[in-house]
Structure 1
Amino acid sequence: MVIGLVIHATHRAVFEDAARTLAGVNLEWVVYEHEDEIRVRVENLLARQRIDGLLLGPVPYAKCRHLLPADLPVTILRSAGLDLSLALFKAAARGWGPTPVSIDTYDAQTVDEVVRALELDPTQVSSLPYDPEQSVAQIVAFHREALARTGAGYVISLRTAVAAQLDRETRVLGGLPGPATLRAQLHELALRAQSRRASALRFAAGVFLVGRAGPGLDLDRARVGLMNLLLNTPEFGDAWIENRGRRGVVVFAHQALFEAATSGWVSLPALGQAQETLGVRVAAGFGVGASARSCVHLAERAADRAEQEETPSAYLVEDGGLIIGPMGPAGAAVAFTYREHGVELERLAGEVGLSAATLSRLAAIERAQMGRAVSPSDLASQLGITDPSGRRLIRKLGDSGLVEVEGSTQVHRKGRPARLYRLRIGAAIERPAGDA
């Protein structure tokens, strides 16, 4: 499991201390000196490394939230009352009076609770809660006004840029969460990421039913056509597909595969493909349960419900009672499939020496990566082949100019770094024949 941490350079030591008790997790550090570096550094992390979770403060989150995948577990660091109390006691240990004081970034409720618990005069505590729209200059101006108005002897700030500007004007204490707070939040994130991974690996089933139509419909032919369509759909490349009844096809896979094929249980493009290429209406149902039998039972229930819709639809039914649907055919299908791009794929497959089906799946993986680099091991895992086969495939793609080296990453503490590659199959498929 890989967790990313976005931190200021001055805070690394305390984060390393907090992470000492975390086992089975590799940490990817994104360390910045200035806030304007955050977006680029996080973007680089996401491009070179697949991460299972991200821990960062409210400022880094505001700077890069638009870059983060919607399904990525994220923990935004929040300083607790204990951290503010420790900062106030630290001031007392240095001989500073606890009040008047000017504080930024802490939640107003946290400040109020600490003030009441320590029996401080609330009129002597100036507090500016965090607001992503506030600039460093505005926070500095708030503290200067509070210092002039109340005669505060010091400032407690969670913003390193604010502390740097005020350091020559007044005494400044950092309010960074201590190792205990950081450790608790880091462990909570690791547990969430682990739970999400375990959920993705749950066994699931999908049932696809050819809709009942007039006497002219050849159900056997329609079912065979539906099976061939699913077999040639890259999203289902790692699934087990077989017939189920006269008009049905059953698909067995991990829950994560179905989530990817439906864009997070939103849409199922295969429904539209079936209607367009086969001329039949298809209903689909997905089931997630404790056993293969219960998964199929739930998937059949979901498919029966989908058949009641007026348009091609799909439903999900889980053993815990969750029902999601209807999912329609709207949504982008995989850009490069054998059925849709036979001429281009066959031409390129012949040049490279791979099957068109393999090249189609590679194109789907490239699209899913959204520009991010991939290691040979990760590519092998997504294709369901061995690591040595993955390395041989990378070499074959490299000989044809379909991948380019994109740096390396230390996946494990021991051993050599893994080289990363960026797939270039989509551009090659669109390239006219004969172009270099």
Structure 2
Amino acid sequence: MLFRPGQKGAAHVDIVVGVVGPHDLVADVATICEQQPSVRVERFAYAHESEAPAIVEANTRLVDAWLFTGVIPYTLAAEQLQRPAGYVDYTGATLLNALVRLLREGHDITRLSIDTLAAAEVNAVFTEADIPTDNLSALAFRPGVTSEKLVRFHRKNAAAGSVAITCVSSVYSELREDITILRLVPSWHSIQTSIRQLLLVTTNQVQEESQVVLGIVEAAPGSPELDGDVAAEAAALAGTAARYGDAQRLIVTTRGQLSAATDQLTSAPLLRRLAAGRSEARIGFGLGRTVAESEVLARRAIARARTHGPVSAVASFRHDIDILLEAGPEPTSVQSARQQPSIGVIAARVGLSVQTVQRLRDFVASADEQGLTTRDIAAELGVQQRTARRILQRLELAGFAERTGHLSLVSAGRPLTLYRLRV
């Protein structure tokens, strides 16, 4: 059962998955998605894959997650993605089924041109099936590869006697009257695998956003109208306010509401408002798995806030993660911090040493532009991957890292998440 903030009286709500792709594939993928418990599907079909970014941008608020029928629309829409997203993979059983079909129709499956899929993945499937790869041509999709380029690729190979296999509906529509071409469609197994992985990520995020947050507020003794001001801030967070001892007030809200009000935990506008006209104002937010744990973490956060001066806000999480949201009467803007954050500011906000942040900054300067993975960070810092994952989590929570996609692996295993670091 999933509970959403701001919805009263509902026992649970479904996870809404937006399926994006050509009309026929959207129907097939959506049907399998709807077989999953507590899932509702919104169908977004396009005539051409170039429409995917506009679809995502216009409908983000309607869904909890996006599932694309292939890697191309997923990649094209990557910059617009603000929700968990995944795509259906076409390698493995999907490609083998296509080869069997071509073989039954009497085609030579040793002379093929295949688009979208990486050459290494295609070669692995052919080698496992004991099919020669000498006359196999593969053009993997990457940014800048257009459907027009794929059409030219297949025409050139068809002139040399190859049969074409495409993952792109627009390419198939363009060529099906001219050459022998088969369009790959995702298998039931690949769709099942993709939706289950996506639901796992999305469920965790929805549960986190619904997580109860406790915020302890303290101000200068005798602060006028403190109760009214705290109540107003709690209302803005769709939460409640209460007295918490003689000198403190308590705000109860959810992680989703707090994240929205603090620019994903990178600033604290409510601290500035509460500090207006007061010599002291501090807030400590606790984000735990239970109310009791959140209270313990809130107490730790307010204690940490006291060490940062008379005006400060800190958020505390499990695993000893403390994030300084803001400190001082005139906090540095999030924008300027993001443009050129000092190493000291980053270290204080995410709870890392200055030396570690400096090593990350040097590494980012020389790294590939496509992004970094936990494996990259672990290798650079000489730590285990779970430690690297925790470091990336801290940076992401503080707004110094963002997820940009996934790195597909040639060998078996889940794709690695790519991060862009702003350190």
Please list, as runs of the form range in 1=range in 2, the aligned pairs for 1:88-167 lying within 5 A after superposition.
88-149=99-160, 151-152=161-162, 154-167=163-176
Structure-2 residue corresponding to 1:325 = 323
Length-normalised TM-score, structure 1: 0.66
**Quick one: distance in 2 between partners of 1:15 and 1:304?**
51
Unpaired runs of at least 5, structure 1: 211-218, 333-436
Structure-1 residue corresponding to 2:47 = 33
Q: What is the Cα deviation at residue 178 of structure 1?
A: 1.1
Please list, as runs of the form range in 1=range in 2, the aligned pairs for 1:39-50 lying within 5 A after superposition.
39-46=53-60, 50=62
The answer to whether 1:250 aligns with 2:269 is no
Please list, as runs of the form range in 1=range in 2, the aligned pairs for 1:16-27 lying within 5 A after superposition.
16-27=30-41
**Quick one: distance in 2 between partners of 1:79 and 1:240?**
49
**Quick one: distance in 1 between partners of 2:181 and 2:174?**
10
SS at match of 2:299: helix
Q: What is the Cα deviation at residue 129 of structure 1?
A: 0.8
SS at match of 2:286: strand
The answer to whether 1:193 aligns with 2:202 is yes
Distance 1:50 1:16, change over 3 A: closer
Distance 1:259 1:42, change over 3 A: closer
**Quick one: distance in 1 between partners of 2:48 and 2:289?**
49
Structure-1 residue corresponding to 2:64 = 52
Please list, as runs of the form range in 1=range in 2, the aligned pairs for 1:265-276 lying within 5 A after superposition.
265-275=265-275
**Quick one: distance in 1 between partners of 2:153 and 2:36?**
39
- The total of aligned residue pairs comes to 315
**Quick one: distance in 2 between partners of 1:106 and 1:255?**
39
Which structure: larger Rg?
A: 1
Structure-2 residue corresponding to 1:65 = 78
**Quick one: distance in 1 between partners of 2:205 and 2:255?**
11
Q: Is the 8 A contact 2:230 2:249 kept in 1?
A: no
Q: What is the Cα deviation at residue 23 of structure 1?
A: 2.7
SS at match of 1:176: coil
**Quick one: distance in 1 between partners of 2:255 and 2:127?**
49
**Quick one: distance in 2 between partners of 1:322 and 1:50?**
35
Stretch deviating more after TM superposition (60-69 or 299-308)? 60-69
Higher relative contact order (CA 8 A, sep 6+): 1
Distance 1:43 1:293, change over 3 A: closer
Structure-1 residue corresponding to 2:277 = 278
Structure-1 residue corresponding to 2:191 = 182
Q: What is the Cα deviation at residue 65 of structure 1?
A: 3.3
SS at match of 1:220: coil
**Quick one: distance in 1 between partners of 2:38 and 2:267?**
35
Q: Is the 8 A contact 1:17 1:179 kept in 2?
A: no
RMSD: 2.4
Length-normalised TM-score, structure 2: 0.68
Distance 1:30 1:291, change over 3 A: closer
SS at match of 2:77: helix
CA displacement 1:312-342 (0-9 Å, x = unmatched): 33222223x151411125669xxxxxxxxxx
Identity of aligned residues (%): 23
Q: Is the 8 A contact 1:298 1:318 kept in 2?
A: yes
Structure-2 residue corresponding to 1:341 = none
Unpaired runs of at least 5, structure 2: 1-13, 335-423
CA displacement 1:176-231 (0-9 Å, x = unmatched): 21122112212322333222222222222111233xxxxxxxx3322x54433232
Alignment equivalent of 1:208, drawn from 214, 217, 223: 217
Supply the AA of the counterpart residue of 2:178: E
Structure-2 residue corresponding to 1:308 = 307
SS at match of 1:92: helix
SS at match of 2:19: strand
